[in-house]
Amino acid sequence: MEERKRPQWSSSIAFIIASIGSAVGLGNIWRFPYIMGEYGGAVFLFIYLLLIFTICILPLISELFLGKFFQKNIVSVYEAIDKKCSIFGWLCIVTAILIPCFYFVVGGWILNYIYISLTDLQVADYTVYFADFVKSPLLQPFYTILFLILTVGITYRGVNKGIEKANNIMMPAFAVILLILAIYTLNLPNASRGLEFMFNPDFSKVNMKMILIALGQALFTLSIGMGALTTYGSYLKKDAKIVRLSYVLAFFDTLLAVLAGIMIFPAVFSFGLEPGAGPNLVFITMPHIFNQLPFGNLISLMFFVLIFFAAITSGISLLETSVLTFIEKFNMSRGKAVLVLTGIISLITIPTSLSYGILNGTALCGFNLFEFLDFATSNILLPFNTLIICLVVGWVIKPSNMLITKRRWCFKIFNFALKYIIPIVLITLMYFGLEG
Ligand code: TRP
């Protein structure tokens, strides 16, 4: 069973593109710019960068290492370390099943907005339009399932013909559209106020909560804490240089998030709108702006296609983590694993897509199902899984076995951080995250 021929990336570049595809998603396009604005702009950016390149880079390297070293799915990796640890692998799979359930709902929103941009539908008030859309008992689940089917379709075709190919087409297209839109919005009147908002630091806003928010965002955006990187890492050749690859990945993820901000804020400020609108920023504020621009429909179409590419390439990595596990653990064909998982995910995703409509309520700790899944995965499951990965690599595997560096001082820091610093930081993050 274990000897099934495993797929492999056709090159390191293919791996990098697919990992950037996984990392760059909804987290970068609307969440990052919005919370960056809320938490002091440039100061947040500075702390975020510091966290990414010091703290987060270590679990990132560790996750990739586990995949590359064991060449297995996340559950088998934990089993190979210790049979009793397999529960941690399954917890990653639970996370990998739950994140798509709300992520794909947002994917559905994007598809709907692509449709309205294409059909030149005139919407007078996007606040009303969006509220009606998310309430709709048919349209909302329809678009969610459509997004699911598109993601599943790519994953079904396998690592090289599906995941690699989709990323090779969509990620360069993503970068080109992002650049065009950023240049376009930078040329709007008063664009500089948007840049000031992003890059003019307000140091009075530094506080513990902001640092924790920055850390949570950094983990989510780098796709850490679910085994997605282990999965992608397991398709690497054994001699791949994961430390360098990790830095390249972190660099591009950050660059694209900042570019997304440069695309959004000048436009928002140019129209004198509110930058801290959260999810509404992309689905209400931006369409409102597009409506008033020359060639607004074309700009709107480009904008939502851009977010679609970002979301689906991340969706693929979310799905592939459990697909690979089902293939290898239950000895299933890819087709069957994809089908079974689509069934399981649909069962939760469809009710989730009704969270703002007929299933609206606050039954789950004050949240509706959508908000609950978002909260539980980002604030509890992802940091917990990351904690376990750091502890396992730090204490059980020991970084010395990872042979990632020959420099002793580097290794000492790496070792100390993985064993003590990051676990403490993560526990603090979870504690405050739960406090709300
Ligand atoms: N990183 C993606 C984003 O920013 C989301 C994502 C994809 C993810 N795969 C993941 C998050 C694995 C956590 C774990 O939107």
In terms of residue numbers, what domain contains 215? 12-377
Enter the pTM of the model: 0.92
Give residue 1's pLDDT. Answer: 43
Taking CA atoms only, the protein residue closest to ligand 1 atom 6 is 223
CA distance 151 to 208: 37
Q: Which two tokens stand for residue 190?
A: 């008063």
Rounded CA-CA distance 357/131 in Å is 9
How far apart CA 418 and CA 412 sit, in angstroms, is 10
Q: Phi and psi of 403, rounded to 5°? A: 50, 45
Rounded Cα distance, 274 and 257, in Å:
20
**Quick check: 51 and 131 in contact, CB under 8 A?**
no
Is 195 among the domain residues? yes
CB under 8 Å to 290, separation ≥6 — which residues? 117, 296, 297, 299, 300, 303
CA–centroid distance, 23 to ligand 1, in Å, is 6
Contact 323, 341 (CB under 8 A): yes
Cβ atoms of 345 and 97 within 8 Å: the answer is yes
Residue 399 lies in a domain: no
Ligand 1 atom 15: residue of nearest CA: 25
Decide if 230 is inside a domain: yes
The verdict on residue 436 lying in a domain is no
Residue nearest to atom 7 of ligand 1 (CA): 314
pLDDT given for residue 403 in this prediction = 58
CA angle 265–218–84, rounded 5-degree value: 155
Closest-CA residue, ligand 1 atom 3, reads 25
DSSP labels for 89-124?
A: HHHHHHHHHHHHHHHHHHHHHHHHHHHHHHTT---S
For residue 225, the ligand 1 atom closest to its alpha carbon is 14
Q: How many domains does the chain have?
A: 1
Residue 246 domain-assigned (yes or no): yes
Which of 207, 101, 212 shows the shortest CA–CA distance to 435? 212
Asked if 365 contacts 358 with a C-beta cutoff of 8 angstroms, the reply is no
Would you give the distance in Å from CA 153 to the centre of its chain?
20
Residues in a beta bridge with 367: 364
State both tokens at 221: 């955006």
Residue 279 to residue 126: CA distance in whole angstroms = 13
Closest-lying ligand 1 atom to the alpha carbon of residue 315: 7
Helix (H) or strand (E) run with residue 424 in it: helix 422-435
The segments of the chain whose pLDDT lies below 70 read 1-4, 277-278, 399-407, 433-436
Residue from 24, 91, 220 whose mutation best tests the ligand 1 pocket (most atoms within 8 A of CB): 220
The domain spanning residue 189 has which CATH number? Answer: 1.10.4160.10
Position in ligand 1 atom list of the atom nearest CA 28? 4
CA nearest ligand 1 atom 10, residue = 223
Give the per-residue pLDDT at 330.
96
Distance 223 CA to ligand 1 centre (A): 4
**pLDDT the model gives residue 405:** 58
Ligand 1 neighbours, Cβ below 6 Å, are: 22-23, 25-28, 220-221, 223, 225-226, 228, 314, 317-318, 382
- Ligand 1 centroid – CA 187 distance (Å): 31
How many angstroms separate the alpha carbon of residue 82 from the centre of ligand 1?
Answer: 27
Residue 412 pLDDT: 80
Q: Which among 8, 9, 17, 10 is positioned nearest to 248, based on CA atoms?
A: 17
For 431, residues 6+ apart whose C-beta sits below 8 A from its C-beta are none
Residue 408 lies in a domain: no
Determine whether 12 is exposed, middle or buried from the number of CB atoms within 10 Å of its CB (0-12, 13-18, 19+).
middle
Q: Residue 25 CA: which ligand 1 atom is closest?
A: 15
Quote the ligand 1 centre to 99 CA distance (angstroms): 8
Substitution site in 221, 255, 389 for ligand 1 pocket (most atoms within 8 Å of beta carbon)? 221
Q: Does residue 339 lie in a domain region?
A: yes
Ligand 1 center to 188 CA (angstroms): 32
- CA-nearest residue for atom 14, ligand 1, is 223
Cβ atoms of 234 and 65 closer than 8 Å: no
Closest ligand 1 atom to residue 95 Cα is: 14
Q: How many CB atoms lie within 10 A of CB 189?
A: 10
DSSP sequence for 347-392: HHHHHHHTTTTTT-S-TBTTB-HHHHHHHIIIIIIHHHHHHHHHHI
Q: What is the dihedral of CA 361, 95, 163, 59, to 10 degrees?
A: 130
| Burial bucket for residue 435 (CB in 10 Å: 0-12, 13-18, 19+) | exposed
Q: From the CA of 257, how far away is ligand 1's center (Å)?
A: 13
**Does some domain include residue 217?**
yes
> Measured between alpha carbons, how far is 223 from 25 in angstroms, rounded to an integer?
9
| Euclidean distance between CA atoms 422 and 346, whole angstroms | 35
How many Å lie between the centroid of ligand 1 and the Cα of residue 230? 13
Could you tell which of 105, 147, 318 is best to mutate to test the pocket of ligand 1, judged by most ligand atoms within 8 Å of the CB?
Answer: 318
Rounded to whole angstroms, the Cα distance separating 431 from 358 reads: 33
